[in-house]
Amino acid sequence: MKNLKSCCLNDKFSHVYVEERALSYPLTDKILDRFEKSEKIIIKHYKDVFCRPHQDFQLQKASQKLILAVKEDNFLYKGADLCQSFGNSNFYYTSTVLNCIYNCDYCYLQGMYPSAYITAFVNIDDFFDDVSSKLEKGPLYLTISYDTDLLSLETLLPFTSMWLDYAAKNPGLTLEVRTKSSNFKSVSHIESISNVVLAWTLSPQCIIDKHEAPSPSLESRLKSIAAAIDAGWNVRLCFDPVIMTDNWQTVYEDFISRVFSVLPYNKINDVSIGSFRMSCDYLKRIRKQRNDSALIFYPFECKDGIARYPAQIEKSLLDNMVSLVSEYIEKERIFL
């Protein structure tokens, strides 16, 4: 059955859907040049494909397609309570790309979006204009890679480098690029930018193997981080989410020891730590779609619309991580 399924699926990005109005944007041409072998399909509106009923998110993950579209409004969103602001009061996030090439079990996107297809908004100048208008009122903290992993897509969709170029010209902006990728090489030709933070999400290898396939290994991420640090970039480490697993104390102790045996901890900008948390509505939808992950069916507690580990378990996980990390990083640079 597995072989039958694979032979019935098209290759990843075998098709690119393009909105009619997206055809006039130079970025569309630049992206399409990278998909010469893909079949191009012109559509009226991206939601005609992205929001179709009865889609199978997990099946689409195995054969993702690309949609090029024009976003009409809501270019920036106020940072959600579940997201860490790192002490920044004027905190926003933006999504020039929807969906991710990875397929982590705990990812909220599979409960948030009806489709696993990657949608890229080619009118990036409109995003820049919105940021610029807000910068006129004061400094802004903006994260650009919550609803995707931009750096992992850089060789296909050049959004990270475009955002970096914009940040370099706007010192009032602090930009965070969060990633699980080992793809620093795709932007390594760019000189480090003082108001940009490259933030890597890290997990023990056993968690990566079990819950983050097919994302890069821990060792390949560490190699990429080390290269970024050597190049002078501000680097944030994100131990988030911390996952309950067999022998979790030993697993995370060995993990943190390995991370800081490779990385120069005195050159880490700061660290974020968080445990599993997700909208209860998203979790309910995910459970209806898949039965292949014990993590998804853990008996989380749902309070105020958010699913989390029971309070005592969450406290144990977070306290343990803070204790381990604080052996290397001052507590003032650890954010929960």
Alpha-helical regions (H) of 145-279: 159-168, 205-211, 218-230, 248-262
- Full set of structural domains in the chain with CATH: 2-335 (3.80.30.30)
pLDDT at 86: 67
Its pTM stands at 0.94
pLDDT at 6: 44
β-pair type (77-78, 15-19): unpaired
- Under a CB-based contact definition with an 8 Å cutoff, are residues 241 and 277 in contact? yes
Torsion of CA 66, 70, 75, 77, to 10 degrees: -40
Alpha-helical regions (H) of 51-102: 57-61
pLDDT at 84: 59
Pairwise CA distance, residues 5 & 13, whole Å: 17
pLDDT at 85: 54
pLDDT at 11: 85
Phi, psi torsion values for 62, nearest 5 degrees: -75, -15
For the chain, which ranges sit under pLDDT 70?
1-9, 80-88
Please state, in angstroms and as integers, the Cα–Cα distance from residue 215 to each residue in 53, 171, 210, following that order.
28, 32, 11
Question: Does residue 241 have a cis bond before it (omega within 30 degrees)?
Answer: yes
